[in-house]
Structure 1
Amino acid sequence: MSRPAPRLVALVAVVLVVTVGVGWYVLRAAASHRALVSSAPSVASTDLGSATTVPHVVFRSTLPGTHYGEVAVAPLTDPAGPRAFTDAACDQLDTVGTTTVCLRVVRDVVTRYETAVLDASWRPTVTWPLPGVPSRSRLSPDGGLVATTAFITEQACSKAGSSTETRIHRADGTDLGNLEEWALTVDGKPYTATDRNFWGVSFVDDETFYVTAASQSANATWLVRGTVSARTLTAVRTGGEYPSVSPDGTRVAYKKLLRTDAGQKVWAFAVLTLGTGTETVYDATAGTDDQAQWLDDTTILYGLARADQPGTTDVWSLDVGTLAARPTLFIPGAWSPAVVR
C-alpha cells in the first residue's frame, strides 16, 4: 500500500486546523445570541393573503421542516409570530411592492443557478442564469432594476482574481452589464487592474447605487458609488463591505473589519452618515457576515447563523440611533429579509 505524500498529509492537517479554528470562532461569536434563540416560541403558519395586505416582511424561512428554503411572509406588527408560506423557494431574495427578485440553486441532473423575477402571485415573469452560487440580490426602490452577486464557478471564471460577478439588469431581464466592465475611479484616477472585483449592490434610486470594490494587487477594498447611465464607479471610502442605503438615503450601513482573533477576521456593522462623513461602528454586532437591510431609517436587520444548528439562521435587529443599543431577535429561523410597507 502506498503512503500519502508528505505535502498531502500537511495539507490535510492545515485544513483540519483551519476548520477547527473557524468552528471555535463561530461558537464564540454566536454565544450571546443563543439564549434568545432557545427561548423563541415555535412559529405557526398563517394565511398568505392576509399577511400581504398589511405592512410585512418577506424572507427565506430556515426553520427545519417541509417549508425550509421557501419564501415566507410575516406582518411587521408580529415578525416573529405566525408566518405565511409561498410556493417560491429562494436562496437570496429582495422584494419591492409586489416584485421579488429570487436567486436560487436549481438542483437537476446538472445543478444550475439562476435569477427569477417573481410577480404578486410568486410566479416567475423572467429568468436568467447566474455564473455560480447565489450571494446577494437587491432591487432599486421602484423595482425597476435588479442587482445580483454570485460566486463564480471555476469554469465560468475568466480572469485571475475574480471570485464574484455582479451585474445589473432591468426587471424585464435586459442586461446592463457586469460591473467589472464599467469604469472605476480611485483617488481621482482611472483604476484598470484586471483583478478588480465587485459585490453587494444597494440602490439609492434607478441612477445611483453603492457597491463594494476590491483589488488583490492593491490589497484594498473600497466603498464605491455607481452611476447607471454613465456606467461609472467612483471610490468614496476605503474599507466597508456589503453596503446598504437607508430608506431616506442619508446613511449607508456596511460590515467592517473590527479585529482579528486567533487569525480569524471579526466583522461588525458600521454606519456612515453621508452628509458629514461620520462613521459609527457597532461592536455589539461582532461576528456578523451579512448585508444589512433597513427596517426603517434608524434600524437595521441582519442574519446570523446558529452555531449549534447548521443551516438555520435568524434575523436580528439593531437600533443604530444609539451606540449603546443591543441586538434583538427579530425573526427566528429566517434569512434575507425585505421590508414591504
Structure 2
Amino acid sequence: MSARNRVIMLVAVLLAALAGAGGYVWNVRKSQAETLAAAPEVAQGGDLQSLRAQPHIVFRSNALGENYGRVAVVPLTAPNGPRAFTPASCERVYATAADTICLSAQRGLVTTYQSRLLDPSWNESRELPLTGLPSRARLSRDGSLVATTTFVYGDSYANPGQFSTRTLVTRTDGAVVGDIEKFKLVVDGRVITAADRNLWGVTFADDDRFFVTAASGGKTWLAEGNLSTRTVTSIRGDVECPSLSPDGTRIAFKKHGDLPAGKWRLAVYNLRTGTEIELAETRSIDDQAEWLDDATVLYGLSHTADGSASSDVWKVPADGSGKPEVLISDAWSPAVVR
C-alpha cells in the first residue's frame, strides 16, 4: 500500500471515529431530552432574595426536568415545599450566608470541570483551581475558606488505594492556602509518606483548624489538621467524610466496619468523650453528611430502586434514636444556612 493510500485510510478511520462519537453523544442527549420532557414538574416558588434573608437550605435539585442539576433554595421552615431555582448548575454545592461554592461539569466529547465561587446574587465572583472529578466541597463557617476534593484518578471511595484524590484549600479571595495531600500526615505517632496516602472530605472548625479523612495502606482515619502548621494528625480509625456539628463537639461520618466493599454506615463520634453512636439509617450512605441542627444529621441517598438519576435528602436523629425521614425530595448536596 502506498503512503498516499495509508494517509487516506487513516483519515477515513478518524472521520468514522469522530462520526461515531458524535452520533453517540447525539443519541445520549436525545434520550436525556426525552426523559426530561416526560418527567413530572416539581413545585416552584419563593423569591431568592427573601429566602437568602432567612434560615434556608441550599441544594442541588435532582428532580427530572428542565431544572435538573440546578441549585435550588427552600426555607428551613418548609424544606419539602416549593423550591426557588437559581441560575447555577452544580455537581456539588455548599453555601454560607456570604458565598456559595459550585463544582460544575461541562459535558461533551471531552468533559471539563470548574470550581466557581458565587456571590449572594448567584453570579460568579471567582473561579478557583480544580483538577479532576468533583467529589466534596465545603466552606468555613465565616465563609473565608473553601475546600474541594476531586478524584485525580478513579471515581469511587469503595477501595482505598485504588483511587487518588486532591484536596485543595483556598481563600475566597482566590489565594491558595495549600494542597492538603502535601501536608505532613502523622498516624499513631508515625509520619506517613507512602505514595498511596490520600486525604479528602474537609470540614472546618475555624479559619485554621479542620478535620479530614486520611487514608493509606487500605485503612482510613479521622484526622485533625492545622493550616498554619501544615500538619494532619490521626484521631481514630475507620472514619470517612467527616462533618463537624454546629456546636463543634461531634463528628458525623461514614464508617466501613465489616461491611462489603463500597458499603458504609452513618455514625457520630463525640470529640469530648471519645464515644461513637451508629445512627438509625442502616442503608449504605456514600455522602459527606450535613447537620440540620445539633440534633439532626442530613445526607443524600440515591434512587437505586427505580434506576433513575435522582436522589433525596434524608434526615435522622444524631443520637441513634428515631428513624430516617425524607427532608427534601429529589435533592442532593444540602447546605444549611442560618
Calculate the TM-score normalised by the size of structure 1: 0.81
What corresponds to 1:71 in structure 2?
71
Contact 2:250–2:270 (Cα < 8 Å) also in 1 = yes
User: In the alignment, is residue 319 of structure 1 matched against residue 317 of structure 2?
Assistant: yes
Q: In structure 2, how many angstroms separate the alpha carbons of the residues matched to 1:306 and 1:110?
A: 27
What corresponds to 2:126 in structure 1?
126
Larger CA Rg, structure 1 vs 2: 2
Q: In structure 1, how many angstroms separate the alpha carbons of the residues matched to 2:141 and 2:54?
A: 19
Per the TM alignment, residue 132 of structure 1 is displaced from its structure 2 partner at its CA by 1.2
Give SS of 1:266's match. Answer: coil
Per the TM alignment, residue 266 of structure 1 is displaced from its structure 2 partner at its CA by 3.0
Q: In structure 1, how many angstroms separate the alpha carbons of the residues matched to 2:281 and 2:108?
A: 41
Give SS of 2:54's match. Answer: coil
Per the TM alignment, residue 131 of structure 1 is displaced from its structure 2 partner at its CA by 1.5
Contact 1:161–1:197 (Cα < 8 Å) also in 2 = no
Give SS of 1:180's match. Answer: helix
Q: Tell me which moved more, 121-130 or 85-94.
A: 121-130
Whichever residue aligns with residue 106 of structure 1, its letter is Q
What corresponds to 1:14 in structure 2?
none
Q: Residues 313-333 of structure 1, C-alpha deviation per residue, up to 9 Å, x if partnerless?
A: 100001113x23101110001
What corresponds to 2:22 in structure 1?
none
Q: Residues 199-233 of structure 1, C-alpha deviation per residue, up to 9 Å, x if partnerless?
A: 10001111111110111xx3311111010111100
Q: In structure 2, how many angstroms separate the alpha carbons of the residues matched to 1:151 and 1:275?
A: 32
What corresponds to 2:229 in structure 1?
230
Per the TM alignment, residue 310 of structure 1 is displaced from its structure 2 partner at its CA by 1.9
Give SS of 1:131's match. Answer: coil
Alignment of 1:88-99 (within 5 A): 88-99=88-99
Contact 1:258–1:266 (Cα < 8 Å) also in 2 = no
Identity %: 48
What corresponds to 1:282 in structure 2?
279
Give SS of 1:51's match. Answer: helix
Q: Which runs of 5+ in 1 are unaligned?
A: 1-40, 155-159
What corresponds to 1:157 in structure 2?
none
Contact 2:62–2:330 (Cα < 8 Å) also in 1 = yes
Per the TM alignment, residue 45 of structure 1 is displaced from its structure 2 partner at its CA by 3.0
Q: Are the structure 2 counterparts of residues 285 and 171 from structure 1 closer, same or farther at C-alpha, using a change threshold of 3 Å?
A: farther
Give SS of 1:202's match. Answer: strand
Q: Are the structure 2 counterparts of residues 172 and 108 from structure 1 closer, same or farther at C-alpha, using a change threshold of 3 Å?
A: farther
Contact 1:43–1:80 (Cα < 8 Å) also in 2 = no
What corresponds to 1:3 in structure 2?
none
Q: In structure 1, how many angstroms separate the alpha carbons of the residues matched to 2:225 and 2:289?
A: 19
Per the TM alignment, residue 54 of structure 1 is displaced from its structure 2 partner at its CA by 1.5
What corresponds to 1:249 in structure 2?
248
Q: In structure 2, how many angstroms separate the alpha carbons of the residues matched to 1:258 and 1:130?
A: 32
Q: Which runs of 5+ in 2 are unaligned?
A: 1-40, 155-160
Per the TM alignment, residue 128 of structure 1 is displaced from its structure 2 partner at its CA by 2.7
What corresponds to 1:294 in structure 2?
291
Q: In structure 1, how many angstroms separate the alpha carbons of the residues matched to 2:238 and 2:257?
A: 11
Q: Are the structure 2 counterparts of residues 229 and 282 from structure 1 closer, same or farther at C-alpha, using a change threshold of 3 Å?
A: same
Aligned-residue Cα RMSD (Å) equals 1.8
Calculate the TM-score normalised by the size of structure 2: 0.82
Q: In structure 2, how many angstroms separate the alpha carbons of the residues matched to 1:334 and 1:58?
A: 10
How many positions carry a matched residue from both structures? Answer: 291
Q: In structure 2, how many angstroms separate the alpha carbons of the residues matched to 1:264 and 1:201?
A: 23
Q: In structure 1, how many angstroms separate the alpha carbons of the residues matched to 2:169 and 2:279?
A: 30
Give SS of 2:264's match. Answer: strand
Q: Are the structure 2 counterparts of residues 113 and 153 from structure 1 closer, same or farther at C-alpha, using a change threshold of 3 Å?
A: farther
Whichever residue aligns with residue 298 of structure 2, its letter is L
Per the TM alignment, residue 193 of structure 1 is displaced from its structure 2 partner at its CA by 1.2
Contact 2:221–2:238 (Cα < 8 Å) also in 1 = yes
What corresponds to 1:210 in structure 2?
211
Per the TM alignment, residue 290 of structure 1 is displaced from its structure 2 partner at its CA by 0.7
Per the TM alignment, residue 42 of structure 1 is displaced from its structure 2 partner at its CA by 5.1
Runs of 4+ in 1 over 4 A off after TM superposition: none
Q: In structure 1, how many angstroms separate the alpha carbons of the residues matched to 2:303 and 2:108?
A: 29
Whichever residue aligns with residue 287 of structure 1, its letter is S
What corresponds to 1:61 in structure 2?
61
Q: Are the structure 2 counterparts of residues 169 and 314 from structure 1 closer, same or farther at C-alpha, using a change threshold of 3 Å?
A: same
Per the TM alignment, residue 283 of structure 1 is displaced from its structure 2 partner at its CA by 4.5
The structure, 1 or 2, with the larger RCO (C-alpha pairs under 8 Å, 6+ apart) is: 1
Contact 2:238–2:257 (Cα < 8 Å) also in 1 = no
Contact 1:161–1:196 (Cα < 8 Å) also in 2 = no
Q: Tell me which moved more, 108-117 or 71-80.
A: 108-117
